[in-house]
Structure 1
Amino acid sequence: MKKCFFFISYFLLVSLHAQEIIPLYPGTAPGSENWTWEEKTVGANTGNAFVYNVTKPTMTYYRAPENIRTGAVMLVAPGGAFHILSTENEGTKVAEFLNTLGIDAFVLKYRLSRIHGQDPMQELFGLMSDFKKLDANNTPTVELATQDGIRALSMIHEISASKGFDTSKIGMMGFSAGATLTMSVLLSAEQKLKPAIIAPFYLYKPAVIGSIFPEKLTPMFIAVASDDGLKFVPHSIDLYNEWISKAQPTELHIYENGNHGFGMQPKGTASDQWPSDFKSWLKQRKWLE
């Protein structure tokens, strides 16, 4: 009897702390019905894991500790040129950081362009040698990924009452391609589903789709490193100028160093400051109350 009680208690404890993986669609995702290739993960639990060949989009729920929960929610979109997803450095670790602030988080696993070979990084680096060609290849995928992001926001709204979410505090943040996706979702979603705040990190702007500008003030936190190896700094500056020209509240951080893809991984560079700056920004927006 005692052994039975122990295993039941252990199961409940594990379940309490387990993350909830939520499929975005009840069956096959619309628009990719013929995608039959297998999703794969590389480097699991190394701090720099990534997945590729995603055909079944999901979002993973990370709930903040009950004693500090604010009711605010953030949808997090990892990056990877719409071919891979940096699920730990730009996903899980970001969600865990948000949880320490009392913010619930969902890490979005959105559909990706197919990797055909056995070495995903080598294939991706080859594609990135020509961004115009990469953009042309990615265009259909960006549209599907944007559908996934909008679907995720819709589902978050749907479960808000049962989860205790404040629907006025549902935001979205993303890194690199995830920042492209964040902006595409913002500019494509209907007004009632648009994120209340957004945070694009080292944005790639040319691939952004959508033209439905938010009717409400939508505060934006932009971050990039001056030594970004992909030369994305002008994209963040252009976005900043565009946003302030529309009288939207905007904050831009260009860190001296940190390169591209700094995410949550401490590097001993100026970019390590972004979590502190982001926390201060959220506090000013009254998201930590």
Structure 2
Amino acid sequence: MIRFSILACVCLVINTVIVSAQQVFKLYEGRPKGSESWTWNEGTSTNKEVVYNVSEATLTAYLPPKEAANGTAVIVAPGGAFHILSINNEGVDVAKWLNSKGIAAFVLKYRVVHSLTDDPVKELMPKMQDFKKLDEENAPVIPLAMADGLTAVNYVRDHAKGLNIDPQKIGFMGFSAGGTLTMSVVYNATDKNRPNFVAPIYAYEPAVIGSTIPTAKTPIFIVVAGDDQLNMMPMSISIYKKWFDAGQPAELHIYEKGGHGFGMRKQNLPVDTWYERFGDWLSFQGFMKTPESRH
């Protein structure tokens, strides 16, 4: 009995190490088009919550144990006004939850505006007071971020077999600016790099590139808070209506409270479990097996 317990503990440790070891995939060889002259190095805030000065787009893979994988994959794009990436709250923590449901997750670091200091959040805050100027500053970078998103879908689909993924069950979700990126990706995709489903979470619509809704079935899941300080709620309704009017499967959740940027944070509010509704929706759409269907 003691020998069995020790063996079980060793197996648990080995499994934990395997699950926690993430692979990082570069999306391009060398400097990608549009940022050939970028010489700055990527930085991470002291609390490891924010990444900035991304000049080389990457995917960090979070893969569930092979026996638990259901074949679905989701590319996750953190938000941060195209200046920073909220890498944990809107990236890694999301990926870990997806893994718990048997879904492979890929956190996307896409190219963002160059920060001039080592305190990118402090640098960004004054810019958030004037969205017109912020949009103008972001305008040259958003097409580059979109290219990173489309390349990410290509990468996951091209490597699906080796990653234990169904190439027709690849989703793209993003938060705030990542939601802008999500919509830009799906509007500009070809058959090869179009996500099979999308989930813009409190997306910023004015900066979205394009407006062509796919003719191929592409379900959308939208979440926002009614008290979003950046007024993203009407934008989410706008996206939902466009999808609904096009006859595409669409689901919209508006929580009374939650603010902007809630991500995976706990606030003791109903919005805290938005991702469980996402799980319900994934099951309904056939992208996540329910416990009953696994037997």
State the distance in 2 between where 1:28 and 1:142 align: 17
Find 2:43's aligned residue among 36, 40, 43: 40
TM-score by length of 2: 0.90
TM-aligned CA deviation for residue 116 of structure 1? 1.3
The one-letter amino acid paired with 2:32 is: A
- Structure 1: 5+ residue stretches without partners: 1-9
State the distance in 2 between where 1:208 and 1:243 align: 15
State the distance in 2 between where 1:67 and 1:121 align: 41
State the distance in 2 between where 1:119 and 1:27 align: 27
State the distance in 2 between where 1:176 and 1:17 align: 27
The answer to whether the aligner puts 1:26 opposite 2:42 as a matched pair is no
1:216 paired residue number: 216
The one-letter amino acid paired with 1:271 is: V
The answer to whether the aligner puts 1:117 opposite 2:117 as a matched pair is yes
TM-aligned CA deviation for residue 39 of structure 1? 1.4
TM-score by length of 1: 0.92
1:148 paired residue number: 148
State the distance in 2 between where 1:128 and 1:261 align: 14
SS at match of 1:51: strand
State the distance in 2 between where 1:13 and 1:134 align: 42
2:274 paired residue number: 274
* Conservation of the 8 A alpha-carbon contact between 2:66 and 2:164: no
TM-aligned CA deviation for residue 44 of structure 1? 4.0
TM-aligned CA deviation for residue 53 of structure 1? 0.8
State the distance in 2 between where 1:205 and 1:197 align: 18
TM-aligned CA deviation for residue 13 of structure 1? 7.3
SS at match of 1:140: coil
State the distance in 1 between where 2:53 and 2:225 align: 29
SS at match of 1:251: strand
Runs of 4+ with >3 A deviation: 10-17
The one-letter amino acid paired with 1:54 is: V
TM-aligned CA deviation for residue 173 of structure 1? 0.4
2:253 paired residue number: 253
TM-aligned CA deviation for residue 210 of structure 1? 2.3
Task: Label 1:37 to 1:288 Cα distance change in 2 as closer, same or farther (>3 A).
Answer: same
The answer to whether the aligner puts 1:51 opposite 2:18 as a matched pair is no
The one-letter amino acid paired with 1:50 is: V
* Conservation of the 8 A alpha-carbon contact between 1:191 and 1:214: no
State the distance in 2 between where 1:106 and 1:66 align: 16
State the distance in 1 between where 2:136 and 2:70 align: 41
* Conservation of the 8 A alpha-carbon contact between 1:191 and 1:215: no
1:7 paired residue number: none
* Equivalent residue runs for 1:181-200 within 5 Å: 181-200=181-200
User: In percent, how many aligned pairs have the same letter?
Assistant: 47
1:264 paired residue number: 264
Deviations 1:222-250 (A, max 9, x none): 00011111111110011111111111111
The one-letter amino acid paired with 2:221 is: F
Task: Label 1:100 to 1:13 Cα distance change in 2 as closer, same or farther (>3 A).
Answer: closer
The count of residues paired between Structure 1 and Structure 2 equals 277
2:244 paired residue number: 244
State the distance in 1 between where 2:120 and 2:260 align: 18
* Conservation of the 8 A alpha-carbon contact between 2:98 and 2:104: yes
